[in-house]
A = this chain, B = another copy of it.
Amino acid sequence: MAVRAAVAGASGYAGGEVLRLLLAHPEVEIGALTGNSNAGQRLGALQPHLLPLADRVLAETTAEALAGHDVVFLALPHGQSAAVAERLGPDVLVVDMGADFRLEDPADWERFYGSPHAGTWPYGLPELPGARARLTGSKRIAVPGCYPTAVSLALYPAYAARLAEPEAVIVAASGTSGAGKAPKPHLLGSEVMGSMTPYGVGGGHRHTPEMIQNLSRAAGERVSVSFTPTLAPMPRGILATCSASAVAGVTAESVRAAYEKAYADEPFVRLLPEGQWPATASVYGSNAVQVQVAYDDAVGRIIAISAIDNLTKGTAGGAVQSMNIALGLDETTGLSTIGVAP
């Protein structure tokens, strides 16, 4: 019996990507598709790459439209998920691709989002220690942010193995789809092609507390994070360059051993052979994560770098992977580790 899935916010980039993946998922049947400003339009006009769904029409995002499904994916502006989830009832698996239920500390939420905290749901980054147990059988999933996915997978093994001082410095480059589909002048093709530019510099990006939460849990102590996101001239992909001072006694070998151990059995994370470095093109459209790590003994720092597709592993792929776990399916069902390259 197929899993029946609805998508709220089907006209945006996260909604479109989850539909792309669900179309390839052997256990899922796609049910209601909803939008707000685009309700009533054909999906073919909004997401012309989703050919098999071209003639589906978007409904309004209401509890009625979303009722009667086994799983509901929410791709909504932050602050809207709680109300929808409540009306869906406790027996429906609700997978929130927004930010509302990621943070554990209400003070973090309030400081970065300026509204009351809605709560905390099991966190959909299965590779983190303990995450799979919390996801199994859960009816609520908070899908991680795209940057926290890339950064946590780059750095958590160093912290889990107690190799790094609790002060991480992170610079990440993201493709423009991370900024969404709402048209703004600085996101025009004319502006972004040929340009690299930072934003949210100095600690202001809303993904910062989520990174701190993940790395601190791995480290067993509070990890501070200096995070600078940059916008890169490509539609998809995140390259996260992360570093931290090594604790005394660390060697290149001990660093590599920690990463090999962490990722030996992970189906989606690939620790690259020494000498090869992650590239966002290699994971384009896939749920794979490329990771590489180095120890720079001249400065005593561990440099860990990851590449993901921000829309796949960074959003919709992570959502489907977590759904699989929650439903008791094989974690890799319907997901690929093969990038579309060149």
Contacts and interface: CB of A to CB of B under 8 A. Distances in A.
A228 to B, nearest CB: 5
B24 A338 contact: yes
Q: Which of A228, A337, A341 has the most CB of B within 10 A?
A: A341
Contacts of A81: none
A38 to B, nearest CB: 10
Interface in A127-157: none
Nearest to A183: B183
B189 A192 contact: yes
A183 B189 contact: no
A326 interface: no
Interface size bracket, A side: 35 or more
Contacts of A20: 338, 340
A173 B281 contact: no
A298 B336 CA distance: 39
A224 B298 contact: yes
A44 interface: yes
Interface string A178-208: 0101011101111111111111011100000
A118 interface: no
Contact of A230 (B51, B176, B225, B241): B241
A301 B245 CA distance: 14
A242 to B, nearest CB: 9
Contacts of A297: 203
A114 interface: no
Interface of A: 13, 16, 20, 23-24, 42, 44-45, 47-52, 54, 167, 169, 171, 173, 175-177, 179, 181, 183-185, 187-199, 201-203, 224-226, 228, 230, 232-237, 239, 241, 243, 270, 272-273, 276-286, 288, 290, 292, 294-299, 301, 303, 305, 307, 336-342
